[in-house]
């Protein structure tokens, strides 16, 4: 399970973590404090288990409807690309 949280209220980075790794993604903002949307964010997650399916859901797109993602898995890691990321996205990896 992955968790993505702003580091603090004045955060310049998101902290993306699971039980094995931590990744920091920069938060892009305008001078008015409005967060911009990242597109095509590629992530790699270490896992020894075979992944059957990856899907995401976010209130930032498609009214929170789940979207299945394509992915590759090799050398103990699975790689996939988030279509977009603004505030938060739930990532589910089914084994």
Structural domain span for residue 52: 3-94
* Contact criterion met (CB below 8 Å) for 79 and 71: yes
38-71 pLDDT, tens digit each: 788 888 888 889 999 999 998 888 888 999 999 9
8-46 pLDDT, tens digit each: 445 556 666 666 656 666 655 444 455 667 788 888 888
Kindly write down the DSSP assignment for every residue of 65-76, as one continuous string.
--EEE-EEEETT
Secondary structure of residue 62 in the 3-state scheme: helix
CATH number at residue 13: 2.60.40.1180
Domain count, the chain: 1
The model's pTM: 0.64
Q: Among 92, 86, 55, 50, which Cα is nearest to 70's?
A: 55
Residue 66 has a pLDDT of 93
The pair of structure tokens assigned to 41 is 């964010």
């Amino acid at each position: 399970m992955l968790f993505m949280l702003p580091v603090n209220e004045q955060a310049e980075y998101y902290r993306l973590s699971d039980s094995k790794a931590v990744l920091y993604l920069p938060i892009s903002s305008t001078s008015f404090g409005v967060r911009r949307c990242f597109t095509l964010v590629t992530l790699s997650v270490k896992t020894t288990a075979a992944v059957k399916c990856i899907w995401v859901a976010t209130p930032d797109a498609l009214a929170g409807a789940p979207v299945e993602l394509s992915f590759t898995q090799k050398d103990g890691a699975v790689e996939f690309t988030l279509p977009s990321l603004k505030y938060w996205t739930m990532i589910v990896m089914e084994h």
